[in-house]
Amino acid sequence: LRASDIAQALFNVGSAAKEVGIDLQDFTGYVAAINAITRKSGAAIGQSLKTQLARIVKPESEKELNKYIEDIENDILLNFYMI
């Protein structure tokens, strides 16, 4: 994973991630984990995350958002261990 991959991902999804409360450290971790599994470019990862975050339309509560993020993290870990 290169810094340029993280920059490209951030460019594609930065404002959406900020809007739902994902901090830069967590975002970098998500990009790294997805890259390790898929070997997709930072731009592709960013676009995918942007699409996923767009599906979260003003969650009713922080608890709902945290559950969604926890599900994504679990999917990433599950896929990582299956490699």
Q: Dump pLDDT digits (tens) for 61-74.
A: 667 777 878 888 88
CB crowding 14-38: b at 16 or more within 10 Å, else e: bebbeeeebeeeebeebbbbbbebe
DSSP state of 59: -
Q: What percent of the chain has pLDDT over 70?
A: 87
Below-50 pLDDT ranges, the chain: none
Of all residues in the chain, the percent with pLDDT exceeding 90 is: 2
At what angle are helices 24-38 and 3-20 packed, to 10 degrees?
130
